[in-house]
A and B are shown apart, each in its own frame.
Chain A
Amino acid sequence: MSEKITSLRMEHITKRFPGVLAGDDISLEVGEGEILALVGENGAGKTTLMNILMGIYQPDEGRIFINGNEVRFRGPEDAFKVGLGMVHQQYMLVGDMTVTENVALGYKQAWKPMKLDLDEVRRRVVEVSDRHGLAVNPDAYIWQLSVGEQQRVELVKTLCLGARFLILDEPTSALTPQETEELVDLLKKMKEELSIIFISHKLNEVKAVSDKIAILRHGRIVFTGDTADHSSSSIAALMTGHEIELPENKEADMHGGLALSIKDLCVRSDRGNLALDHFSLDIREGEVVGLAGVSGNGQRELAEAVNGLRAVESGSISFFGEECAGRGAHQMIEAGMGYIPEERNIEGIVPAFSIKENLILKDSENPRFSKHHLMKRKAVMENAERLRKDFDIRCPGVDTAAGSLSGGNIQKVILARELTRSPRFLVAVYPTRGLDMGAVESIHKELLAKRKEGIGILLISEELDEIMNLSDRIAVIYKGRVQCVMKHGEADKRRLGIHMAGLEEGSDE
Chain B
Amino acid sequence: MDILINILSMTVPFSVALLLASLGEMFNQRSGVFNLGCEGIMAVGAFIGMLVPFSVGQGGAVAGGWNWLGLLLACVAGALLGLLFGLVVVTFRAPQGIAGIGLQMFGVGVAGTLFRHFVGGTQSIPGMSTTPIPLLSKIPVIGRIFFSHSIIVYLAFLFVPLAWYILFKTPWGLRVRAVGTHPRAADSMGINVNRTRYEALAVGGALAGLAGAYLSVCQVKMFSDELIAGRGFIAVALVYFGHWNPVKIMLGALLFSFAQTIQYNVQGLGMNVPYEFFVMLPYVVVVVVLAFTSRNQKTGPAALGKPFNREMRT
Direct contact of A and B (CB under 8 A): yes
Q: Is the CB of B185 within 8 A of A116?
A: no
Find chain A residues with CB under 8 A from B175 CB.
105
A270 in contact (CB, < 8 A): yes
- Contacts known (A105-B178, A105-B189); A112 close to B310, Cβ less than 8 A: no
Output the least CB separation between A309 and chain B (Å): 17
B117 near A: Cβ within 8 Å? no
| Cα separation A80 to B181 with both chains bound (whole Å) | 22
User: Range of interface residues on chain A?
Assistant: 20 to 34
Interface residue? B192 (CB, 8 A): yes
Contact between A95 and B302, CB atoms less than 8 A apart: yes
A56 within 8 A of B: yes
The verdict on A95 contacting B182 (CB below 8 Å), with A111-B171, A270-B298, A271-B298 known, is yes
A114 to B165, CA, bound (A): 10
Q: Is the CB of A92 within 8 A of B184?
A: yes
Q: A77 on the interface (CB 8 Å rule)?
A: yes
Q: Which B residues are CB-close (under 8 A) to A93?
A: 182, 185
A94-B181, A94-B182, A95-B302 known; A56-B174 Cβ under 8 A: no
Contacts of B169 in A (CB 8 A): 115-116
Instruction: For B301, give the chain A residue with the smallest CB separation.
Output: A96
| A94 touching B177 in the complex, CB below 8 Å, given contacts A17-B313, A57-B311, A75-B192 | yes
The B13-48 residues at the A interface (CB cut-off 8 A) are none
List chain B residues, Cβ under 8 A from A102.
185
A48, A76, A80, A97: the one contacting B187 at CB < 8 Å is: A76
B122 to chain A, nearest CB (A): 44
User: A112 touching B186 by the CB < 8 A rule?
Assistant: no
Q: A91 to chain B: closest CB distance in Å?
A: 8
- Closest chain-B Cβ to A141's Cβ sits at a distance in Å of 12
Interface of A (DSSP majority class):
loop
Interface residues of A in 78-122 (CB under 8 A from B): 78, 80, 86, 88, 90-97, 101-102, 104-106, 110-112, 114-116
Which residue of chain A is the closest to B184 with respect to CB atoms? Answer: A92
Q: In the bound complex, what is the Cα–Cα distance between A56 and B187 (angstroms)?
A: 8
Using known A-B contacts A80-B190, A92-B185, A95-B182, determine if residue A105 contacts B174 with beta carbons closer than 8 Å: yes
B170 at the interface (CB under 8 A from A): yes
User: Is A94 within 8 A of B313, CB to CB?
Assistant: no
Q: Which partner residue on chain B sits nearest A80 by CB separation?
A: B190
CA A57 – CA B309 in complex, angstroms?
Answer: 11
Chain A positions within 8 Å of B, measured between CB atoms, are 17, 48, 54, 56-57, 75-78, 80, 86, 88, 90-97, 101-102, 104-106, 110-112, 114-116, 270-271
Q: Are B181 and A77 in contact (CB under 8 A)?
A: no
Which of A57, A78, A106 contacts B189 (CB under 8 A)? A106
Q: B170 contacts which chain A residues (CB < 8 A)?
A: 114-116
| Minimum C-beta distance from A240 to chain B (A) | 22
Q: Are A76 and B171 in contact (CB under 8 A)?
A: no
In the bound complex, what is the Cα–Cα distance between A180 and B114 (angstroms)?
A: 67
A77 partner residues in chain B, CB cutoff 8 A: 189-190
Residues of A within 8 A of B192 (CB): 75
A97 to B182 CA separation, bound complex (whole angstroms): 10
> Is A56 within 8 A of B182, CB to CB?
no
Q: Which residues of the other chain, A, contact B272 by a CB distance below 8 angstroms?
A: none
Q: A97-B178, A105-B178 are in contact. Are A92 and B313 (CB under 8 A)?
A: no
Bound CA–CA A104/B174 (angstroms): 8
Chain A positions within 8 Å of B188 at CB level: 54, 56, 76, 86, 88, 92
**Cα of A92 to Cα of B185 in the assembled complex, Å:** 4
Closest approach, in angstroms, between the C-beta of A484 and any C-beta of chain B?
33
B133 on interface, CB distance cutoff 8 Å: no
Residue of A with least CB distance to B190: A77
CB of A120 to closest CB in B, whole Å: 12
B191 at interface, CB cutoff 8 A: yes
Q: List 5 A-B contacts (CB under 8 A).
A: A75-B190, A78-B190, A104-B171, A116-B174, A270-B298
Query: Inside 8 A of A116's CB, which chain B residues have their CB?
Result: 169-171, 173-174
Which residues of chain B have C-beta atoms less than 8 A from A75's C-beta? 187, 190, 192
A97 CB contact (under 8 Å) in B177, B299, B310, B311: B177
Nearest Cβ in chain A — how far from B55, in angstroms?
Answer: 37
Nearest Cβ distance between residue A154 and chain B, in whole angstroms?
A: 10
Q: Determine the chain A residues whose CB is within 8 A of the CB of B313 once the complex forms.
A: 17, 48
> CA A95 – CA B186 in complex, angstroms?
12
In chain B, positions 184-207 with a C-beta closer than 8 Å to chain A are 184-192
Shortest distance between the CB of B219 and any CB in chain A (Å): 31
Rounded to whole angstroms, the CA-CA distance of A101 and B175 in the bound complex is 10
The reply to whether A92 and B298 contact each other, CB–CB distance below 8 Å, is no
Is B171 touching A92 in the complex (CB atoms < 8 A)? no
CB distance from B193 to the nearest CB of A (A): 10
Determine which of B174, B178, B182, B190 lies in contact with A76 in the assembled complex, contact meaning CB atoms within 8 Å: B190
Asked whether A76 lies within 8 Å of B298 as measured between CB atoms, the reply is: no
Complex formed: what's the CA distance from A110 to B174 in Å? 12
For residue A90, which residues in chain B have a CB less than 8 angstroms away from its CB? 184
* A80 surroundings in chain B (CB, below 8 A): 190
User: Is B310 in contact with A76, judged by CB distance below 8 angstroms?
Assistant: no
Is there an interface contact between B182 and A92, defined as CB atoms closer than 8 Å? yes
Q: Given A56-B188, A76-B190, 4 more contacts at CB 8 Å?
A: A17-B313, A54-B188, A75-B190, A106-B190
